[in-house]
Chains A and B, each alone.
Chain A
Amino acid sequence: MAKLTIPAEELLRSGHSACPGCGAALAMRYVLKALGPETIVTVPASCWTVIGTPYPTTALDVPMLDNPIEATGASVSGLRAALDALGQKGLTVVGFAGDGGTVDIGLQSLSGMLERGTDAIYVMYDNEAYMNTGIQRSGSTPSLAWTTTTPVGGASRGKLEPKKDIMAIVAAHHPVYAATGNIAFPEDLIKKVAKAKALSGPRFFHVLAPCPPGWRYDAERTIEVGRLATDTHLFPLYEVENDRYRITRRIERPKPVADYLRLQGRFDHLRVEEVASLQEAVEARYRRLLALESASA
């Protein structure tokens, strides 16, 4: 039997108020397992505002600061500056933000944090929509997905535009470390977060966090959905360290993207040719990733 590499310590308490099967809760759980208790988390308006449990309770066994939705990048800079000024060493500062709070309204402060070189980890948990406000499209919603603001019906086929490539945007800032992660592959995620913890400077994680109510699948299938995202090459696991790309999970025979789409109600309306177009887009994106990997090797 393979040795379990996941730390036993739980820093997310079981009393949190996430929905059953919430990928965002797992993302926090694994990130904190990798980082340990000497961590401060700053969280913008998002599902995590609620998951963290209301006053006067808290679901985390580490300090948590709330910040407005677009300012996570600035909040981590302020926390780090205070720790430095007050001579507090050995703490990891983490911004833990949703996709909307990162790729849309928070893109500026993320860019600022990366550019000014803040010594902190920014985790974007990606549930591919504004979930806390009730499943509206974000720049990170994949094309053709149903959301409440990209309804399906008449001529409308869901979201028209492709998903914003946040990893490319982040990589263009040349941070010391950036990686994708998936709650369905905790060993990979935890290994990367632990590696990032040992580095200093700005570090970024794009973590896929499936959302049962938002993606319209049954809560017990979160891991299955998450696994398929990676096993189809739709959400490849890789890292970018000092501009060098490395795929951390290679799939010899990727499954058809249709297997992933089929499980989710948000893609229920897709026609055969639309599934084929998504399959093509996934393959093209993966080829670009391979090219980046070999070009930077």
Chain B
Amino acid sequence: MNPTTEPYLTQYQARADTLPGRRVNWLQAQRRAGLARFTQVGFPTQRDEDWRYTTVKPITVKKFHGLNAAAESAEFAESAEHADLQAALDAMQIKGLQSHRLVFVDGVFAAQWSHSQSALGVPSEGVTVAPLAQVLEQNPHWIEQAFGSVKPDKAHGFTALNNAYSQDGVVVLLAENARPTTPVEMLFVSCAPNGCAQPRNIIIAGAASKVQLIERYVSVNGKPARDKNSAAACTFTNSSTEIVVGETAEVDYYLVQTQSQAAYHVCGVWARQARGSRFSCRTITLGGALVRNDLGVELAGEQAHCDMFGLYHLSGAQHVDNHTTMLHCAENCSSREWYKGVLEQRSRAVFHGRIKVAPGAQKTNAAQTNNNLLLSAHAEIDSKPQLEIYADDVQCSHGATVGQLDADALFYLRARGLDEAAAGEMLRVAFVNDVLNQIAIDELKQTLETMLAARLTGNRLSSHP
């Protein structure tokens, strides 16, 4: 008996009957397959090549309870205390942003904080936004083909667990040519101490559609009325998002991780791109004790293009692992990957960028860069490209840099009257600016700019351990 997987399996048995979509056969088959794989492979260890630099022990040794936490927080959300949660959520809003917004607290759909331009599940401007549980109960055929089709078959234990266990999340369906004027915002709030949430999202972008998606993870201290001064709650989120990008569709996707420094997040995002489509994926990671992102894109149709940008700013003992896989499966596709990180104190980052060019994927153009700014002697980065090229007419490039602030630039700024702290701050902000400038949603960009500027100033460092 495996002591790390056992509690999850037991909980699964206990709650299998309460999961949505019990009468949907194809879904039940997927759940069983997920469960079987999880039972077989368990949680990854550092012996797995893909997990060499990241240990998930901090997650697996703890007892997280999915069901109770979820039930409690649903109760909490309805209770009189929810004014506090409301206030906390208001403070976390992306200022000025109009969006179709779905909010989940500890994995449970919170209808009172969600809104869409029309009723959930009813199309408006060609876009249908609905909670997964609702779709599974009412219209499972909407997602039957796509659901589970983008994720890799040989997934690691977390993904398998999500396949078995997930109960809710967001479904976004875009009709052909649909171009909603407002972004879709998926907000996942971790709240209850030791709570575990396993969101599952599916986005299906029809041919020639165009959409902006924001998937956000935040923390709010649970039960504020009961223990006001408690440290941030330890929470675990195991999320999974599948994105089907139709022919010539354009999907602009933002993954924004600003959870507390006591939150764990294992996150999978998988996209498949049809001919002539464009997918931009921008990952901004500022929060979390341990964050692992698996981002996989399959360029399945000719002339598809993918931009994958990432930005992480870490401090304390944060550990963030970005594992990207760019699969070039068709001719004339291009991909550009660009990850930038600022590491302070004892933080640690891993960047693993895999590019695979399948036989026949001629005229592939793939570029990958990872630039890191190490602001402390105790911070650490492991950056590793992995290129597998099975076609001959291909342009692939990769490069990684690890450095401190540029002494020449610092002196230049000081010679113009800026003190050392201000000059350093200006350079740190400058380092992240070029990635921030790629954010096409102004309100999001401004919110992140403000957040980062505050984090990159000396004030924050002195108030931080």
Chains A and B bind each other: no
